[in-house]
């Protein structure tokens, strides 16, 4: 955490208990930029977006800077109607007053149980303590304050040299269930001290998310609150101008986002395995993506991963269910370097014990070769265990 603080300048953090969760659990987190930060965000594609998502879309569309991020856990403020929107406005106004920033520069996020009114007064009561706790080394407290079913905080950081400047990148995320977004992840905050205007940040963030957060799945569900926010405050004094300079920043952001994405899958609710489903040789990238997502979402495949049962029939059946034109005689399937299926049937030299040894590993790759063209796509997925059912059956109790 100390290294993360040093790497990305001009940001301070806090995490406190405000009463949304049982004491002493942290449930209110704050990120403050010491200067106005350009912002870009991606939000859930769920048709029931939470109030903070609706408000955040409007805020980003207005194009103003962000100085303060306020996030609560324990309550999603989702499916709460106009009351929920009013709660977001009230939080922004209260936080603006406490932290001495314009309410329009306060970005609000929530995560937790859907459908319950947000106890705004509790959040308001916690804001002065958050202001008091605000510090460069408050990152650990912030990352814990935004957790729900996560077993641990998720933080990644890096640094890249651009035009003679050392530019920092920092990422904080939460998420362990309801993970397969199409535009974002559960909640993720990417920060940089580079100076980049919002119109340039938006396409950059879309590419970063496409290669990280949008290539993971735990359970195939998209939350009402999924948000990725990217802030650039310019504290490094570096303003990437050329395509090459922006590419350096993008690569580091993608690396940090990729680390967070892997942490989310590894910490998936009840997860015991992280499996890369890599599809090669599809007619095009779209077909490859359909196959990869179908295999990685299959409950039968995911339970086989958990049970360490190298039942390749489940994998090939999922490939055939993807809605993609496939010539069975051209299909090959590998478990890491073990050829399991060749020509759409069991490989002649395949031994069950070899496949089982792969399935016993904590991380491995299922590679599917279609033999129809140049299309490739990969997804990082979790298995489905008894604990996933237990966690979600008991989530509200």
User: Under a CB-based contact definition with an 8 Å cutoff, are residues 29 and 141 in contact?
Assistant: yes
- The phi-psi region of residue 183 (left if phi > 0; otherwise alpha if psi is between -120 and 50; otherwise beta) is alpha
pLDDT value at residue 2: 46
Tell me the catalytic residues: 185
Q: State residue 9 phi and psi, 5-degree precision.
A: -85, 155
pLDDT value at residue 316: 97
Distance CA 335, CA 36 (A): 49
Which positions of the chain have pLDDT values less than 70?
A: 1-6, 178, 183-185, 395-397
Domains contained in the chain, CATH given: 2-266 (3.60.70.12), 274-393 (3.10.20.340)
3 state SS of 375: strand
The residue behind tokens 């705004």 is 120
Distance CA 355, CA 338 (A): 7
pLDDT value at residue 388: 86
b (16+ CB within 10 A) / e for 333-355 = bbbbebbbbbebebbeebeeebb
The enclosing H or E element of 188 equals strand 187-192
Q: Note the pTM of the prediction, 2 decimals.
A: 0.93
pLDDT value at residue 397: 56
Distance CA 294, CA 317 (A): 10
Q: At what angle do helices 312-320 and 299-307 cross, to 10 degrees?
A: 160
pLDDT value at residue 4: 47
Distance CA 217, CA 379 (A): 7
Residues in Cβ contact with 193 at an 8 Å cutoff, skipping those fewer than 6 apart: 8, 9, 10, 11, 167, 168, 232, 233, 234, 235, 236, 238
């Amino acid at each position: 955490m100390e290294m993360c603080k040093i790497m990305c300048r001009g940001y301070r953090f806090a995490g406190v208990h405000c009463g949304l969760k049982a004491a002493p659990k942290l449930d209110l987190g704050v990120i403050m930029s010491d200067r106005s930060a350009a912002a870009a965000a991606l939000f859930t594609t769920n048709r029931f977006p939470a109030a903070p998502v609706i408000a955040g879309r409007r805020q980003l569309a207005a194009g103003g800077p962000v100085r303060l991020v306020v996030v609560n856990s324990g309550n999603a403020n989702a499916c709460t109607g106009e009351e929920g929107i009013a709660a977001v406005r009230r939080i922004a106004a209260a936080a603006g007053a406490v932290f001495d920033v314009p309410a329009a520069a306060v970005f609000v996020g929530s995560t937790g149980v859907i459908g319950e009114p947000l106890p705004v007064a509790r959040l308001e009561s916690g804001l002065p303590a958050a202001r008091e706790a605000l510090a460069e080394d408050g990152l650990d407290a912030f990352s814990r304050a935004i957790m729900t079913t996560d077993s641990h905080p998720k933080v990644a950081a890096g640094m890249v040299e651009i035009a003679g400047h050392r530019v920092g990148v920092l990422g904080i995320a939460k998420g362990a269930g309801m993970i397969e977004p199409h535009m974002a992840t559960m909640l993720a905050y990417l920060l940089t001290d580079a100076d980049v205007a919002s119109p340039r940040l938006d396409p950059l963030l879309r590419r970063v998310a496409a290669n990280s957060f949008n290539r993971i799945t735990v359970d195939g569900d998209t939350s009402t609150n999924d948000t990725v926010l990217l802030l650039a405050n310019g504290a490094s004094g570096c303003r990437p101008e050329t395509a090459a300079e922006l590419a350096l920043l993008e690569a580091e952001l993608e690396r940090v986002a990729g680390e967070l994405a892997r942490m989310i899958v590894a910490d998936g609710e009840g997860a015991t395995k992280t499996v890369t489903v890599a599809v090669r040789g599809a007619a095009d990238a779209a077909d490859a993506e359909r196959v990869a997502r179908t295999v990685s979402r299959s409950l039968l495949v995911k339970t086989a991963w958990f049970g360490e049962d190298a039942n390749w029939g489940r994998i090939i059946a999922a490939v055939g269910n993807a809605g993609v034109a496939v010539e069975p005689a051209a299909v090959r399937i590998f478990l890491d370097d073990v050829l399991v299926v060749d020509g759409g049937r069991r490989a002649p030299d395949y031994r069950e014990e070899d496949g089982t040894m792969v399935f016993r590993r904590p991380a491995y790759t299922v590679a599917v070769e279609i033999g129809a063209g140049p299309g490739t796509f990969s997804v990082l997925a979790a298995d489905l265990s008894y604990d996933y059912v237990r966690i979600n059956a008991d989530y509200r109790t």
